[in-house]
Structure 1
Amino acid sequence: MDKGQLDGLVAFALVAEKRSFTAAAVALRISPSAVSKMIRQLEARLGVTLLTRTTRATSLTEAGEKFLQQAGPALESILNAMNEAGNAAEKPAGRLRLNVPQTIYPNFLKPVITSFTQKYPDITVEIYFENATTNIFERSFDAGIRVSDILAQDVVALKLLGPLRWVVAGAPSYFAKAGRPKHPKDLLVKSCICVGAGSRVYDRWEFESEGKGFEVQVKGPLILNDVILAIDAAVEGLGLIYITEDAIQDKLQSNQLQIVLQAYTGTSTGIYLYYPQRSQVHPKLRAFIEHVKQTKII
């Protein structure tokens, strides 16, 4: 069956149900003349007249009644499927897949997700923790959260937090045995805990001095692909860690970690929610974007 035949059948079913070409046109979001054309083409293919049209009413012919009895159940199934598809296009529902860094979840994202799932019970939020810069959309994620420095150019970005301070921190026990670095170059002889995996290791730590940025390539006893475990390792005194100040705020307050090299602290503009540039954003993602804005965390 080609598309023209299907369109004609759907138009006929709606006219038969509503007894009105105008009402059927409204349901199909087309003009009454277009509905009339579809019906005429269907009647021409069948070789019978299905509807009687007058200025006051529209009714089924005997042939139309018989045809509707035979084809009615199938046409009703088609119309129900169309209605459900239309509702799905407007109602926020389904699985929302987010790709986010681990450190942002406990203090920032967790309360946002909690209130969002309560507000939209028909949406299931799937969160995949990842720190590396990858093309998440090729892997069917709806959106991601990343620092501004590593965002692709062809995305829509909504600022969530920032600016961010990138700091070097260590445990008091580490400083007691290894001393405190006075300048970033001192990190060359310090034990540094890096985050990454394989060829993607973040071992070039960035700093600023007198308005100019520079990097120091560090090394140390551990490379972890889990930021939370890297923070724990720093707390245990295994080495220094390079991370955003917000991510270790609780460790700083409890004095489990202490910041060094404050005069050389680097900054980035912030953390962003980003998603593909599309002409139409899915309702589930649009609902999440609006919820983030309404929670006043930006």
Structure 2
Amino acid sequence: MLRLDDLALFVRSAALGSFSSAAREVDLLPGQVSAAIQRLERELDIRLFARSTRSLRLTAEGEQYLPYAREVLETLREGRERLRPESAELHGLLQVAAPSDFGRNRLLPWLDDFRALHPRLQVRFFLSDQVADIFRDPIDVAIRYGRMEDASFVALPLAPANRRVLVASPEYLIRCGRPSTLDDLAGHAGLIYMLHGRAYDKWAFELEGRRRVVPVAGALFSDDADVVRRWAVAGQGVAYKSWLDVSDDVAAGRLEVLLDGVGAALPLHLVCPHRRQYSPAIRQLHALLRTRCEVLTDALAAWPA
């Protein structure tokens, strides 16, 4: 008889490309995962993986079978969730990935509030500006900036009106002057974000329905968006940041918005792999985060677009 645990280990081994990695997730030995896959192969009478001492890959039969295995597990999960009353206390494990600045300075306290409402819920929180792979990585939801054009996952809006804005500290503006046009940015110290070794030193703006790209230069680069924000607060230069990341600094007077809030759209979403994974915990987290984000973007609406 086919075991559901074996099926789950097959799906995770396929995603991670390793029996050892799948074993670590559930506190098993690699040999136990290998034995589970062998049982599943005997039940199905097919070979799911081509194994070698250095690699593990799906066979053609394994590739064909994988979406059905995922569908079975997702259907069972959906059935469990539907049997649970919406008002029932949330419990279990919720794994959330978020970008560094928003995650550390916004989402972290909001997750604390969410946990206070649902103390039986376990939360694993992953912070990184590297884009999480929601199908391969052990996460349930990811918080992502930008337009979501990939139809393979579900993207739920958190802050559709959010956008990037230019900011600098009062100290920097006194010392170096305030830019009055985008062309003036050439004479200012840009605080430059990096990702995968690429420096984002060409800033895109939306002006009267048109896109304009402005090259910037500076001496400070970081692959952590929170570091870029901190440099701006410290008076090191001009940053081009998500309003959600800098709104507290603006409200407190640590940063000032430049050029009447000129910028570009940067919506924020909560992303999960499949509609069936839209559990009560994810549904309630989405509602809380959207409410909190709307309060912040309402203040952004006061700036000219």
Equivalent AA in structure 2 for residue 273 of structure 1 = L
> Which residue of the partner structure matches residue 161 of structure 1?
159
Deviations 1:34-58 (A, max 9, x none): xxxxxxxxxxxxxxxxxxxxxxxxx
Q: Does 1:273 align with 2:270?
A: yes
SS at match of 2:270: strand
Aligned to 1:79: none
Contact kept, 8 Å, 1:98 with 1:143, in 2: the verdict is yes
Find the aligned partners of 1:109 and 1:263 in 2 and give their Cα distance.
24
Deviations 1:96-129 (A, max 9, x none): 2211123334664345422432343332111111
- Per the alignment, residue 197 of structure 2 pairs with 199
Could you tell me which residue of structure 2 aligns to residue 289 of structure 1?
283
Which residue of 1 is the match for residue 139 of structure 2? Answer: 141
Residue 36 (structure 2) aligns with: none
Residues 111 and 233 (structure 1), Cα distance of their counterparts in 2 relative to 1, 3 Å cut: closer
Matched positions, count: 211
From 184, 187, 202, the equivalent of 2:185 is: 187
- The verdict on how the C-alpha distance between 1:151 and 1:144 changes in structure 2, with shifts beyond 3 A counting, is farther
- Other structure's SS at 1:220 match: strand
SS in 1 for 2:218: coil
> Counterpart amino acid of 2:282?
F
Distance 2:227 2:148 in 1: 22
Higher CA-based Rg? 1
User: 1:134: how far off?
Assistant: 4.5
Amino acid at match of 2:286: V
1:167-213 residue CA offsets vs partner (Å, 9 max, x unmatched): 11111222223222222232233211122244243333121222211
1:128 lines up with 2:122 in the alignment: no
Letter in structure 1 aligned against 2:172? Y
State the partner residue of 2:11: none
Alpha-carbon distance between aligned partners in 2 of 1:248 and 1:138, rounded to the nearest angstrom = 31
CA change 1:133–1:98 in 2 (3 A) is: same
Q: Secondary structure at 2:100's aligned position in 1?
A: coil
Paired residue for 2:94, among 80, 93, 96? 96
Q: Is the 8 A contact 1:193 1:221 kept in 2?
A: yes
Which residue identity lines up with residue 215 of structure 1 in the other structure? V
* Residue matched to 1:48: none
Residue 89 to residue 232, structure 1, CA distance change in 2 (3 Å): same
Q: Distance in 2 between matches of 1:161 and 1:265?
A: 16
Summarize the Cα distance change of 1:120–1:225 in structure 2 as closer, same or farther, 3 Å threshold. same
- Secondary structure at the residue paired with 2:151? coil
> Between the two proteins, what is the percent identity of the paired residues?
25
Q: What TM-score, normalized by structure 1, do the two folds share?
A: 0.61
User: CA 1:267–1:197 in structure 2 vs 1: closer, same or farther (change >3 Å)?
Assistant: closer
Shift of 1:93: 4.0
* Distance apart, 1:137 and its partner CA: 2.9
Which of residues 235, 238, 241 in structure 1 aligns to 2:239?
241
With over 3 angstroms needed to count, the CA separation of the structure-2 counterparts of 1:194 and 1:275, relative to structure 1, is same
Equivalent-residue separation in structure 1 for 2:109 and 2:240 (angstroms): 25
Match of 2:257 in 1: 259
Q: How far apart, CA to CA, are the structure 2 residues paired with 1:136 and 1:202?
A: 24
Residue 232 in structure 1 maps to residue 226 in structure 2: no
* Stretch moving more, 241-250 or 119-128: 119-128
CA contact (8 A) 1:98 1:125 kept: yes
What secondary structure does 1:221 align onto? strand
CA distance in 2, matches of 1:263, 1:199: 29
Q: CA deviation at 1:248?
A: 1.4
Give distance in 2, aligned partners of 1:224 and 1:295: 27
How far off its partner does 1:221 sit? 1.4
